[in-house]
Amino acid sequence: MGHDGRVIEADGIVLRTRDGVTELIVNGVFAMDSTEVSSELALADAALPAGRVLVGGLGLGYTAARLLDGGADFVRVVELSAELVEAAERAATEQLGRVAADPRVELVVGDIADHVAGSWDAILLDVDNGPTFLIHDHNARLYREEFLRRCLAALTPSGRLVVWCEQESPELVAALTAVAATVETVIVTVRRGERTFDYALYRARPASAVSPAPSAVSPAPSAVSPAPSAVIAAPSAVIPANAGIPDAGPRSRSRDPGSSPG
C-alpha cells in the first residue's frame, strides 16, 4: 500500500518519496514532508473535541487522521487539487490511503471558499502559508474578514475556527478580532536541522460562544453586564502549543521560502 518512489506530478502538485520520506511540493514551493508532522497534529488538537469537522487542505493527511483518532464523527476535507485527492483514493501513501478509506471521511475536490455551509463543530484552514507568504495568490481572500465571518457563522455555538500560518500575522489577528468573539494565538515551535520555525495557529470562536446565560433573577444591567472588552480575549495572548493543546509537540512544515525539503 505504500508509495513505491514514483513521482506524482500534475497541475503544480508533486508528491514523492525520497529516502523513506514523503514530500509534497505545491506550485514549486516545498509545502511539507513526513519527517516531523506535529504542527499538523497541533492544528487538529486545537479543534478537538469535535464531532463534525470541515478541513480546508488535505496535505499528507496527518491533520485528518488526528481528528479521526481524536473521536471526530465526520470529517469533510476540501482539497483544490484533484490529483492529490486521487492519490489519496489509490493509497499513494499509507497515511493518505488510511484517511481516504475511513468511512467517516469525505474528500471533496474544490475551493474551500465554495464549501463553507452547514453546521460544524470546527473548521480548520490549512490551504496555504497564511497571508504573509502565499503559494496561490487567490487564497488571500481566505484570510479576510468576509470569508472569516462566513466560517464563524457556519460553526455551532461552541465551535472553533483554527487557521494555520507559517508565521505570526498581525493582519490576520486584526481580521479575526473584527469578526470573532475570542481569538487565541498558539505558537508551534519546530526545529529542522539548525533552523527553528515558529508557526502560528489562530483559534477563534463565534459570538454565540460568549452569550451570557439567561438568569432567573434580573438584577440591574450594570451589575451583571460586563463591558464588551471583558468578553473578547486579547488577541496578543500567546499560548505555547504544548500548554494549550493536549499532546501537541512541535511540527515540521518548512514553508520558509529559503528552506529546502528534508
Q: What is the CATH number of the domain that holds 161?
A: 3.40.50.150
Q: Does residue 234 lie within any of the structural domains? A: yes
User: Contact, 196 vs 190, CB < 8 A?
Assistant: yes
Number of domains into which the chain is organized = 1
- Any domain includes 262: no
Q: State which residues form the domain around 176.
A: 37-207+221-244
Q: 21-25 — which CB contacts under 8 Å span 24+ positions?
A: 21/262, 22/60, 22/93, 22/95, 23/261, 23/262, 24/59, 24/60, 24/84, 25/261
Q: Can you tell me the distance from the alpha carbon of 21 to that of 35, in angstroms, rounded to the nearest whole number?
A: 6
Residue that is written with C-alpha cell 533552523 in the block: 195
Q: What is the pLDDT along the chain (262 residues), one digit of tens a residue?
A: 444 455 578 778 899 988 889 999 888 878 888 988 989 999 999 999 999 999 999 999 999 999 999 999 999 999 999 999 999 999 999 999 999 999 999 999 999 999 999 999 999 999 988 898 888 889 999 999 999 999 999 999 999 999 999 999 999 999 999 999 999 999 999 988 888 999 999 999 998 765 555 544 444 444 444 433 333 343 444 555 544 444 333 333 444 433 333 3
* Residue 192 forms part of a structural domain: yes
| Pairing outcome for strands 195-205 and 182-192 | antiparallel
